[in-house]
């Protein structure tokens, strides 16, 4: 006779009083499969912890976002935000869908070129572009988004020797009614600096002003802020055309669209509060169309969305290492992944599901990572079923920023796999090894030997 399934014994005091309006449970279903592939099989094959990306979800997200904008505005182009996730396999999913590349550093620029993105379809953003990087971007006819006057004057100097006239845009910062105001990037709209930069570019005759760019923030929850931003960029474009006779070809509204993750301290879960991408599309497209451009003079609308296109396509699978009880009686669960791998747990209360069946008993608990650091907390308080050592869990919506901001600290970075459209798994980044870690290290001769 087979034995009964065991669960740790638990006792819970019943409190009389008001019902919790959010219910008493946070998780009702185990997540045993992702895109039809069993979680336990993936962990058995690739180890734990393990990042899993769904190609299907990425493509669906992209197509839904493109449809949201294209049904409202005639000329739309997405540019994949490399900093959000620059694994080449991931980038190529979006390039296959038609995305250009949006990069903020020299190595991201090289990655985009190596991935096969034509130079003239790479947008080069950010405050740090070296002389060599700028020269290469000019040679490749890339779209250089100028961040500050020092860069503007450098480009004018470089253009003297360049064969091609650099194609540039300026990044504009502005008050859109939201806090914080990201005025550290680009030129300010309200105080006239942006207009000043535009006139300097046009007057120089050395640079080709082709676009205007802004990026008003991150995880933005206010579609109307994008309407304000679009209106201010349209105002600059309008004046550039009418006063300087320099019509711009595109307006780039950047990214910052949220995913459905729940921000720490939020009263309601992200899935209930985050506006749909359609609402952002409506705010932006209707503002530009209503501004007054002739139909054949409408600028191309560029979007650099990253998080909204990939966050919910990423999962982190992990295993319970241990349970313990803290001094105040709270249950603590130790996982085999920590903040070193799940950087976004500093910002989000990630949804976490058990990957196997469980009973209806649950307990409030703290989820810790395996690092010897007090800050290694994945969830300060979460109501989860009782998980035993060796049980597996799935963290949801981890596709954005984790696999670029992760830290090699105490533990090595784990395998990353992608599930393709047919349900096949592919290793897209191998887990790190000691050999990989020590590859760039050098040992001075006098330190090679010691006696203890």
**Interacting residue ranges for other proteins, rule: CB under 8 A:** 2-14, 323, 325, 329, 359, 361, 386, 388-389
Residue 176 CA to chain centroid, in angstroms? 22
The nearer residue to other proteins, 2 or 435, going by C-beta atoms, is: 2
Tell me which long-range contacts 43-46 makes (C-beta under 8 A, separation of at least 24): 43/317, 43/319, 43/392, 45/425, 46/415, 46/417, 46/425, 46/427
The nearer residue to other proteins, 30 or 126, going by C-beta atoms, is: 30
DSSP 292: T
Q: Are residues 386 and 363 in contact, defined by beta-carbon separation less than 8 angstroms?
A: yes
The nearer residue to other proteins, 144 or 334, going by C-beta atoms, is: 334
In Å, what is the CA distance from 419 to each residue of 37, 50, 51, 65?
A: 8, 13, 11, 21
At closest approach, how far in Å is the CB of 388 from other proteins? 7
At closest approach, how far in Å is the CB of 23 from other proteins? 16
Q: Are residues 145 and 170 in contact, defined by beta-carbon separation less than 8 angstroms?
A: yes
At closest approach, how far in Å is the CB of 331 from other proteins? 9
At closest approach, how far in Å is the CB of 358 from other proteins? 10
Residue 381 CA to chain centroid, in angstroms? 25
- Per the DSSP assignment, residues forming a β-bridge with 366 are 332
At closest approach, how far in Å is the CB of 104 from other proteins? 49
The nearer residue to other proteins, 26 or 84, going by C-beta atoms, is: 26
Which residues of 345-434 form beta strands (DSSP E)?
352-354, 362-368, 377-385, 392-395, 416-419, 425-429
At closest approach, how far in Å is the CB of 320 from other proteins? 12
Query: Residue 334: helix, strand or coil by DSSP?
Result: strand
Distance CA 194, CA 212 (A): 10
Distance CA 317, CA 414 (A): 10
The nearer residue to other proteins, 180 or 329, going by C-beta atoms, is: 329
Distance CA 361, CA 128 (A): 53
The nearer residue to other proteins, 9 or 295, going by C-beta atoms, is: 9
At closest approach, how far in Å is the CB of 329 from other proteins? 6
At closest approach, how far in Å is the CB of 420 from other proteins? 36
The nearer residue to other proteins, 9 or 440, going by C-beta atoms, is: 9
Phi, psi of 363 (to 5 degrees): -150, 145
At closest approach, how far in Å is the CB of 366 from other proteins? 15
b (16+ CB within 10 A) / e for 183-200: eebbbbbeeebbbebbbb
Strands 416-419 and 50-54: parallel
The nearer residue to other proteins, 12 or 451, going by C-beta atoms, is: 12
The nearer residue to other proteins, 12 or 422, going by C-beta atoms, is: 12
Distance CA 324, CA 310 (A): 35
Q: Are residues 402 and 316 in contact, defined by beta-carbon separation less than 8 angstroms?
A: yes
The nearer residue to other proteins, 246 or 388, going by C-beta atoms, is: 388
At closest approach, how far in Å is the CB of 5 from other proteins? 6
Contacts of 436 (CB under 8 A, 6+ apart): none
At closest approach, how far in Å is the CB of 353 from other proteins? 19
Contacts of 306 (CB under 8 A, 6+ apart): 80, 81, 83, 84, 85, 255, 400
Closest CA to 217 of 179, 188, 166: 179
The nearer residue to other proteins, 10 or 290, going by C-beta atoms, is: 10
The length of the chain, given as a count of residues? 452
At closest approach, how far in Å is the CB of 381 from other proteins? 18
The nearer residue to other proteins, 24 or 435, going by C-beta atoms, is: 24
């Amino acid at each position: 006779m087979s034995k009964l399934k065991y669960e740790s014994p638990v006792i819970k005091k019943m409190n009389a009083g008001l019902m919790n309006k959010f219910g008493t449970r946070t998780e009702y279903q185990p997540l045993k499969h992702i895109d039809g592939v069993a979680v336990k099989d993936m962990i058995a094959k690739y180890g734990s912890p393990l990042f899993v990306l769904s190609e299907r979800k990425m493509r669906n997200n992209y197509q839904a976002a493109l449809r949201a904008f294209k049904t409202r505005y005639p000329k739309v182009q997405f540019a994949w935000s490399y900093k959000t996730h620059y694994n080449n396999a991931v980038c190529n999913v979006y390039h296959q869908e038609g995305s250009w590349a949006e990069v903020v550093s020299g190595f991201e620029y090289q990655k985009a070129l190596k991935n096969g993105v034509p130079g003239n379809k790479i947008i080069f953003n950010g405050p740090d572009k070296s002389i060599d990087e700028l020269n290469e971007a000019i040679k490749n006819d890339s779209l250089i988004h100028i961040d500050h006057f020092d860069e503007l004057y450098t480009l004018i100097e470089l253009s003297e020797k360049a064969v091609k006239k650099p194609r540039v845009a300026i990044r504009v910062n502005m008050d859109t009614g939201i806090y914080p105001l990201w005025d550290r990037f680009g030129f300010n709209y309200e105080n006239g600096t942006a207009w000043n930069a535009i006139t300097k570019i046009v007057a120089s005759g050395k640079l080709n002003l082709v676009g205007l760019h802004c990026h008003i923030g991150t995880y933005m929850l206010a579609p109307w802020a994008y309407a304000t931003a679009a209106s201010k960029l349209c105002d600059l474009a309008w004046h550039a055309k009418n006063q300087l006779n320099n019509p711009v070809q595109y307006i780039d509204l950047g990214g910052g669209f949220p995913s459905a993750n729940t921000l720490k301290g939020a009263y309601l879960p992200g899935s209930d509060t985050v506006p749909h991408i359609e609402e952002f599309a409506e705010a932006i497209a209707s503002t530009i169309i209503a501004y007054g451009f002739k139909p054949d003079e409408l600028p191309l609308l560029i979007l650099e969305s990253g998080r909204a296109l990939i966050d919910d396509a990423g999962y982190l699978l992990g295993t319970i290492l241990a349970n313990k009880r803290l001094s105040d009686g709270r249950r603590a669960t130790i996982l085999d992944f920590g903040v070193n791998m799940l950087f976004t747990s500093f910002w989000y209360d990630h949804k976490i599901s058990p990957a196997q069946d469980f009973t209806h008993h649950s307990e409030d608990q703290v989820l810790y990572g395996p690092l010897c650091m007090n800050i290694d907390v994945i969830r300060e308080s979460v109501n989860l079923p009782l998980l035993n050592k060796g049980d597996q869990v799935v963290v949801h919506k981890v596709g954005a920023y984790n696999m670029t901001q992760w830290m090699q600290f105490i533990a090595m970075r784990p395998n990353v796999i992608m599930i393709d459209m047919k349900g096949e798994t592919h290793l897209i980044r191998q887990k790190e090894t000691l050999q990989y870690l020590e590859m760039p290290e050098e040992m001075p001769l006098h330190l090679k030997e010691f006696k203890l």
